[in-house]
Structure 1
């Protein structure tokens, strides 16, 4: 059942904290499982990724099959209806516009002593994106992960 919270209520902070804590996964088992997966991928690379993709997504990827070639993209595009392409374009443009508004601006100034101060924002160089395959393959997973990385200025997205 949905929980209705009103920030004007006296008990809002406590109710909000309770709601957040009920949604969090704080299990040490989960942390240990994630650490083991990361260590395995670091050791065995794409072979481990392929196995975990099959295990968790039910998609039988093979080592070396993670990069989508240009001809595969062209084929998929040619098989996609104009309506779907239009919807994806609209979604892309809206996601991009939203994240462009979130980008922090650089600022440089001099204080009263003549010292130059400021902040210059620089993007991370590379972003890794996980997009499920198999039964849970959604174009939205690509859009909501890749578009913000591109807006932020990441030079490599994999």
Structure 2
């Protein structure tokens, strides 16, 4: 007979809040990316120039922000929700830390954290704590599943 797993309503609501905050951040960044790209394209048309998105270095910070959010989203949600269930909500703070530092990423990226020459050490202000939060989310899952 299979075991029935229940989750406390407050734990679920806490996880839903973190998830919603992340998804709002992602949606905001996608809108920012689209509006910026479109405004650059319109400006190029007004100048009677061909717009080449791949050569528009000013889009690099938002492109890297969206790319980073999307790259790590499955890892974040997988470990976040699994850890919330396994720990009874004890990892909700790590989820908020992850979202907060992902929200900081675009501000750091725009302020020379990401350039055409690559990522600069400044971007570590946003990435290292986020990866630490992922580790805090992954640890209880890995321990529960494999040990």
Q: TM-score, normalised by structure 2?
A: 0.31
Which one has a bigger Cα radius of gyration?
A: 1
> 1 or 2, which has the higher helix percentage?
2
Relative contact order (C-alpha < 8 Å, sep 6+): which is higher?
Answer: 2
> 1 or 2, which has the higher strand percentage?
1
